[in-house]
Amino acid sequence: MTDKLVYDFCDIHIYDHYMIVTMKAGVNITANYNEVLINVANTYFVNQPFVYITHRVNSYSVDPAIYKETSRIKNLVGFCVVSKNYMAKSAAQIEKLFFDKPFEIFDELEEAIAWSKRLMV
């Protein structure tokens, strides 16, 4: 791990080729929050491919429209959701429709990390 960032709406752990984002309970992720996440990606992964892993341990909502903007991050090679919660997985299936890059859903964080490493090859 290279860094941990704490915001009022999420915690972010930065690694060599991926970041793990854990949103706080009850947050509604909108364009404003997404802009912060994009800035973090642009700061830590300059000209370097990376995967965005969202670890959904808390209940929160996401405006699916933000995925169009997130898809435009040139060095973002994949996005995945980690959750064992049926509702979170169902929401992720809908969100996946708005994303133009590889998007997977996993039960375990280790599965997501392994997938992110495969995308780097």
Residue 26 region by backbone torsions, left for phi larger than 0, else alpha for psi between -120 and 50, else beta:
left
pLDDT digits (tens, 9 = 90+) for 59-94: 898 888 888 888 889 899 999 999 999 999 999 999
The total number of structural domains in the chain stands at 1
First and final C-alpha spacing in the chain: 20
pLDDT for the residue numbered 121: 76
- Specify the CATH number for the domain of residue 68: 3.30.750.24
pLDDT recorded at residue 65 = 83
- Residue range 93-108, pLDDT digits in tens: 999 998 999 999 999 9
Range(s) of the domain holding residue 105: 3-119
Query: Any idea what DSSP says for residue 24?
Result: P
What's the confidence (pLDDT) of residue 1?
59
pLDDT at residue 31, rounded to an integer: 85
For the sheet with 18-23, list strands across it.
Answer: 3-6, 10-14, 18-23, 50-55, 76-82, 103-106
Is pTM beyond 0.85 here? yes
The helix (run of H) or strand (run of E) holding residue 111 is helix 109-119
Q: Does the CA dihedral 26-87-6-101 come out positive or negative?
A: negative
pLDDT digits (tens, 9 = 90+) for 1-55: 589 999 999 999 999 999 999 999 999 998 888 889 889 999 999 989 999 999 9
